Structure 1
Amino acid sequence: MEKQRKNEKEKRKEKGFSRLSTASVVESIAPSPYVEECTTIEHRCRYIKDNSFYGWLKILLSLPYSKVMELDKLLAMPALLALLLLYLHFMRRKIRNGIQNLPPGSSGWPIVGETFKFISAAREGTPVRFIQERMERYDSRVFKTSFLGDPMAVFCGTAGNKFLFSNENKNVQVWWPSSIKKLLRSSLVNKVGDEAKMTRRLLLTFLNPEILRNFVPKMDTIAQIHINTHWQGKEQVVVHSTVQKYTYALACSLFLSIEDPLHDSKFSSRFHRFLKGLVGFSINLPGTRFHQAMKAANEIREEIKKIIKQRKVDLEEKRASPSQDILSHLLATPDSNGRFLTEIEIMDNILLLLFAGHDTSRSTLSSLMRYLAQLPHVYNKVLAEQVEISRAKGEGESLQWEDVQKMKYSWNVASEVLRLSPPVTGAYREALRDFSYADYTIGKGWKLHWTTCSSHVDPRLFANPEAFDASRFEGAGPAPYSYVPFGGGPRMCLGLEFARLEILVFMHHIVKQFKWDLVNPNEKFKYDPMLEPVDGLPVLLHRHH
């Protein structure tokens, strides 16, 4: 036996093998309990406990660094990386297979899964295609995929929405991709359980209808100034970038009492970089979207920090009121346990509110302008409603809460826009424990996704779903859990009422002063990550006389 080993070593030397032979590697990690006494390298590898591809991979992955440096004489680095990827992929499959009866679907490529397929569909403006193809191929109730490195079950339809919305903190809890977690840090989106409830309650104290109704005249003034500054006297306007000036000025005013347009502009440019890196792989290297987003987020926080410092002084010296905006409210109001938010928590939540309070509404207003240009009969009915409200008011009198409540048809139109073109495609949860759903088993730790499109374009819920029909929202409106642009359950968007006022006040002034035509009637919209027009939606303005 010993003689045969020596002969093998001599043969390997003749062939130019390094002194770290495959046989010696096998011997180093697979001692006698796992390797029978065999006479060839191939036999030794065959009898490794795993007795499979894993055996070879365990050999490679168990080596100390010094031996790996020697081993690269045998195998090129690309081959090692490929083997590592395959190993991770198969190990993930092996772990998942420990749970019986998973939903059907595809996990896609190692690590990246189906991420690029989903992003590609989103940037083509057709995320619904990605979802519907898999609902038809696998199961219309739930299917599995893999997104941003995590196994994921996609819950579909009203039953899926109801299950996730009603099981918060029971079977599921909120979850976001690591890019969002890192960018929004200690804000509400990353809080769970009682901590999330207390933070949400604190924010809703300011964002509830009873408080916001007092800000309608201020919203009205900001909308008029915006239109007089950026629309009046113009023959052509690029809608998406222009309405951002309105939504951002409104958010800065109500949340931070900032009225300076130059300050708004500086903030706004940073938010563009922040938004583009929000959803994706959190690779913080120069040149990546995520790196630019992190840099922008830190710059925004520094600005907010300066404002907080000055506001604390103003509150102490009675130059500012605890109820003047949400920043003062957060600084002056403790939660139900008597605890005040830390300065970092306040910065992160203001960042969240500024982002969510203007970007989603910008997307909605851009889509709304498109539909009103394409559907003159809808535009005319909106105009008639708004003119009637104006006639009941005195010259120069601002809009009030009661006026906005009369804009029923206009809000039905905006709601239909949100059904057909929601600003975001859905949100995420994480399984807190193993549970059964739709005859399948969902494992603890699995990521879960609900989507707007799986119910918004379901012909069983919305007849002729591709058609624009604002009457769907008359009376009792859509079936429960079928219309979810703002989510649902305990995690329902807390800015819903703010968004409603923001959109309706703008509609009131824009339709009263202008009609418009699309420069490019066939312009596409894409998700990146929010819905936006590819070319910004330029329009030709026609002022009413």
Structure 2
Amino acid sequence: MVAVVMEITGSMWTVAFLAILAAVAFLKWVLERVNPWVYETQLGDERYSLPPGDLGWPFIGNMWSFLRAFRSDDPDSFIASFVSRFGRTGIYKAFMFGNPSVIVTMPETCKRVLNDDDAFKPGWPTSTVELIGKKSFIGIPYEEHKRLRRLTSAPVNGHEALSIYIPYIEDIVISTLDKWSKMGKIEFLTQLRKLTFRIIMYIFLSSESEEVMEALEREYTTLNYGVRAMAINVPGFAYYKALKARKNLVAAFQSVVNERRNQRKTNKSTKKKDMLDALMDVKDEKGETLDDEEIIDIMLMYLNAGHESSGHTTMWATIFLEQHPEFLEKAKVFKQSQSINVLLFHYLTVLFYCIQAEQERIVKKRPPTQKGLTLKDIREMEYLSKVIDETLRLITFSLMVFREAKTDVRISGYTIPKGWKVLAWFRSIHLDPEIYPNPKEFDPSRWDDYNAKAGTFLPFGAGSRLCPGNDLAKLEISIFLHHFLLNYQLERLNPESKIRYLPHTRPHDNCLAVIKKNLPSPP
């Protein structure tokens, strides 16, 4: 009798377990079809020409897999999963940052999306626009963007402006490097971000207040963590903190604008003209000036982009260059079968010393009356330019940009529906082995006599919305590396530190290191 009861009980548990499995499977089946039903059925027959892919689960979409991949050691597994499931089409449907989206991962498709202003407009997530600013370059329509870019490009990237910035950048780099060499253990990335923020603050606001700069830079750090996070406006989440940081930044900049306007009214300002003055002075063809919201959003955007990308790129370029002499020592113990690697290590070591020689040559040929670098000197740094380009390619500071289809668009044989977001995925292009052999190796030699085809090198984007501060960023990086290579060395304390990829690629320890000053050469 007991055995019969146990058998019946066991059967009931088995049935219950199978029922639960069936319910879970059915629920999963339903959830996977909610987004397609909501966003695809309304397209009619056009839904049959959508790119391959999937829209994930309701609300979440593909964001969990995106965040999981970029918080792992293999961020490229996110796109790799699309390729393995749907083939190497280079264009996939997904549900990203709260919107039905199409991800494009190949040069031709990215070039089309970035250059066709008739078919595509900015498509940044609403959450990102809320953080960076509705009146910033990422949030305004084409004609307004064209007007503001024309009004602001010369004071940021113009030849005259860059020449004016060089002496200040050079002076602050020299004094900062000397200070770091006396500080002992530092977070190299943290200090670089402070340096580049100080530079951009001086250019825009003529400000050198350490207290103000550190406070604002901390707010920017919080802001950036929210840009790539899910838009959950609840205490404790990154996006909630980022919104508070933006509010603090806007209040600080509004105070600066108010003070500057009062100074200009009473003619009390004795400082040189800076970018804030330029923004307050510019007028369009109708004689109209920028309002406070436009000025503040433009400043907030420029100050953010103007120090984050420069700081991270400078750190990685320094790390890569300091690794090269070690390659020569490793090459000595390689077997003959590894001759290709031996040649590469030899090349990289030779390149390191060629870069140093290049910088020394620039200093030696300088006229006695010239005290510092000139724009002409910087544009003659050919080896260094290759190093910077290779760093920009390998790190891909901005892994994607967002656009939105203004109408139904046919591309690569598929339809991108009107209103869907389009994510131009730069990281896939920069790490494509068919474009860049051994793409995850730092190899500046790939740029010897090589001109990147359109759409294959996109560190600053492309088209009418190319990053407006790209020349200034490369100028800062070049000046820093010039003085670092001639006079200093980087000794990392945790060279095997894990890498984090969000919001930007960096060592987990922010490159904990000691900066050592080179001993003077014997006479």
TM-score, reference length from structure 1: 0.80
* 1:208 Cα deviation from its structure 2 partner: 2.5
* 1:337 Cα deviation from its structure 2 partner: 3.4
User: Which residue number corresponds to residue 279 of structure 1?
Assistant: 228
**Separation (CA, whole Å) in 2 of partners of 1:325 and 1:449:** 35
Aligned-partner residue type, residue 362 of structure 2: I
Alignment partner of 1:146: what SS? strand
**Separation (CA, whole Å) in 2 of partners of 1:298 and 1:474:** 47
User: Which residue number corresponds to residue 458 of structure 1?
Assistant: 432
Deviates more, 1:468-477 or 1:83-92: 83-92
Correspondent of 1:190 among 121, 134, 139:
139
Asked whether 1:144 is paired with 2:117, we answer no
**Separation (CA, whole Å) in 1 of partners of 2:73 and 2:149:** 32
User: Which residue number corresponds to residue 212 of structure 1?
Assistant: 162
User: Which residue number corresponds to residue 127 of structure 1?
Assistant: 75
Aligned-partner residue type, residue 520 of structure 1: N
User: Identity percentage over the alignment?
Assistant: 27
Aligned-partner residue type, residue 353 of structure 2: N
The 3 A distance-change label for structure 1 pair 319 and 217 is farther
Asked whether 1:390 is paired with 2:393, we answer no
* 1:513 Cα deviation from its structure 2 partner: 1.8
The 3 A distance-change label for structure 1 pair 543 and 84 is closer
Asked whether 1:537 is paired with 2:503, we answer no
2:319, 2:490 within 8 Å by CA — same for their partners in 1?
no
**Separation (CA, whole Å) in 1 of partners of 2:306 and 2:41:** 43
Aligned-partner residue type, residue 349 of structure 1: I
The 3 A distance-change label for structure 1 pair 401 and 136 is same
Correspondent of 2:37 among 90, 93, 107:
90
Aligned-partner residue type, residue 134 of structure 1: F
Asked whether 1:412 is paired with 2:361, we answer no
The 3 A distance-change label for structure 1 pair 520 and 379 is farther
* 1:381 Cα deviation from its structure 2 partner: 2.7
User: Which residue number corresponds to residue 23 of structure 2?
Assistant: none
User: Which residue number corresponds to residue 484 of structure 2?
Assistant: 510
Segments of structure 1 that go 5 or more residues without pairing to the other structure are 1-79
Alignment partner of 1:201: what SS? helix
Aligned-partner residue type, residue 438 of structure 1: S
* 1:317 Cα deviation from its structure 2 partner: 4.2
Query: CA offsets per residue over residues 370-418 of structure 1, 9 Å max, x none?
Result: 2122223243332222222223345992222122112221121011011
Deviates more, 1:321-330 or 1:251-260: 321-330
* 1:462 Cα deviation from its structure 2 partner: 1.7
1:115, 1:147 within 8 Å by CA — same for their partners in 2?
yes
User: Which residue number corresponds to residue 341 of structure 1?
Assistant: 290
**Separation (CA, whole Å) in 1 of partners of 2:289 and 2:74:** 44
The 3 A distance-change label for structure 1 pair 236 and 385 is farther
Segments of structure 2 that go 5 or more residues without pairing to the other structure are 1-26, 326-348
Asked whether 1:428 is paired with 2:378, we answer no
**Separation (CA, whole Å) in 1 of partners of 2:385 and 2:270:** 33
Asked whether 1:380 is paired with 2:371, we answer no
Aligned-partner residue type, residue 514 of structure 2: L
Alignment partner of 2:181: what SS? coil
User: Which residue number corresponds to residue 43 of structure 1?
Assistant: none
Correspondent of 1:244 among 159, 177, 193:
193
2:157, 2:470 within 8 Å by CA — same for their partners in 1?
no
User: Which residue number corresponds to residue 472 of structure 2?
Assistant: 498
The 3 A distance-change label for structure 1 pair 322 and 105 is farther
* 1:318 Cα deviation from its structure 2 partner: 4.3
Query: CA offsets per residue over residues 14-36 of structure 1, 9 Å max, x none?
Result: xxxxxxxxxxxxxxxxxxxxxxx
Correspondent of 1:267 among 195, 200, 216:
216
* 1:110 Cα deviation from its structure 2 partner: 1.7
**Separation (CA, whole Å) in 2 of partners of 1:504 and 1:420:** 17
**Separation (CA, whole Å) in 2 of partners of 1:327 and 1:511:** 34
Asked whether 1:360 is paired with 2:333, we answer no
Alignment partner of 1:144: what SS? strand
The 3 A distance-change label for structure 1 pair 105 and 97 is farther
* 1:533 Cα deviation from its structure 2 partner: 1.7
* 1:333 Cα deviation from its structure 2 partner: 1.0
**Separation (CA, whole Å) in 1 of partners of 2:507 and 2:212:** 26
**Separation (CA, whole Å) in 2 of partners of 1:237 and 1:373:** 17
The 3 A distance-change label for structure 1 pair 91 and 98 is farther
**Separation (CA, whole Å) in 1 of partners of 2:167 and 2:181:** 21
Query: CA offsets per residue over residues 83-130 of structure 1, 9 Å max, x none?
Result: 999766633343356522110011112221111111222223533332
1:323, 1:329 within 8 Å by CA — same for their partners in 2?
no
1:142, 1:156 within 8 Å by CA — same for their partners in 2?
yes
- Runs of 4+ aligned structure 1 residues displaced above 4 Å come to 82-89, 317-323
**Separation (CA, whole Å) in 1 of partners of 2:45 and 2:175:** 61
* 1:181 Cα deviation from its structure 2 partner: 1.1
Aligned residue-pair number = 464
Aligned-partner residue type, residue 228 of structure 1: D
**Separation (CA, whole Å) in 1 of partners of 2:62 and 2:175:** 46
* 1:320 Cα deviation from its structure 2 partner: 4.5
Aligned-partner residue type, residue 148 of structure 1: F
Aligned-partner residue type, residue 287 of structure 1: G
Alignment of structure 1 residues 228-239 onto 2, 5 Å: 228-229=178-179, 231-239=180-188
Alignment of structure 1 residues 312-331 onto 2, 5 Å: 312-320=261-269, 324-331=273-280
**Separation (CA, whole Å) in 1 of partners of 2:264 and 2:490:** 46
Alignment partner of 1:188: what SS? coil
Asked whether 1:444 is paired with 2:391, we answer no
1:118, 1:130 within 8 Å by CA — same for their partners in 2?
yes
Aligned-partner residue type, residue 247 of structure 1: T
The 3 A distance-change label for structure 1 pair 490 and 451 is same
Deviates more, 1:242-251 or 1:93-102: 93-102
Correspondent of 1:224 among 171, 174, 179:
174
User: Which residue number corresponds to residue 8 of structure 1?
Assistant: none
* 1:491 Cα deviation from its structure 2 partner: 0.9
Deviates more, 1:508-517 or 1:465-474: 465-474
The 3 A distance-change label for structure 1 pair 173 and 357 is same
Query: CA offsets per residue over residues 483-542 of structure 1, 9 Å max, x none?
Result: 101100001111101101110111112222212232222223222222222111112333
**Separation (CA, whole Å) in 2 of partners of 1:337 and 1:473:** 46
Deviates more, 1:341-350 or 1:178-187: 178-187
* 1:232 Cα deviation from its structure 2 partner: 2.1
Aligned-partner residue type, residue 78 of structure 2: F
* 1:235 Cα deviation from its structure 2 partner: 3.7
Alignment of structure 1 residues 9-24 onto 2, 5 Å: none
**Separation (CA, whole Å) in 2 of partners of 1:304 and 1:368:** 32
